[in-house]
Amino acid sequence: MSGLSNKINENMYVDDDKLIIKRTHNANQMLEDAAHAREVTDNSFGTDYKHVGNVDMALLGVWLKEAGVEWTDTHAVKEVLKKKLMSNEFKSLRVWEGAY
């Protein structure tokens, strides 16, 4: 698993006195890491450690911005992450299919 940012491009421009920064990321490595973790991670019943999912920090940043949550609000960050990972839209990022 890489654990590295998968940024492939970053463009900056000014629009009406606002600095616009557009970052493009490649999610393929994150999806491959999740698939690999599903195969090799021991998430069996009774184990203390659960590998719930793989989420790149850039994607988590987008989710937090959408939800209006600050990084420092750890409880809210956990709730946003849990909600997104439990949604069908991001099920490919889940490693563990148990209940929270």
Q: What is the pTM of this model?
A: 0.70
**pLDDT (0 to 100) of residue 79:** 95
- Band of the pLDDT at 81, cuts 50, 70, 90? very high
CA 27/CA 76 separation, integer angstroms: 24
- Cβ neighbours of residue 38 under 8 Å, at least 6 residues apart? 95
pLDDT of 36 > 60? The answer is yes
User: For 40-57, what is the mean pLDDT?
Assistant: 76
Locate 18 and state its tokens. Answer: 């606002």
Tell me what the pLDDT averaged over the chain comes to.
83
User: For 25-40, what is the mean pLDDT?
Assistant: 83
> How many residues make up the chain in this entry?
100
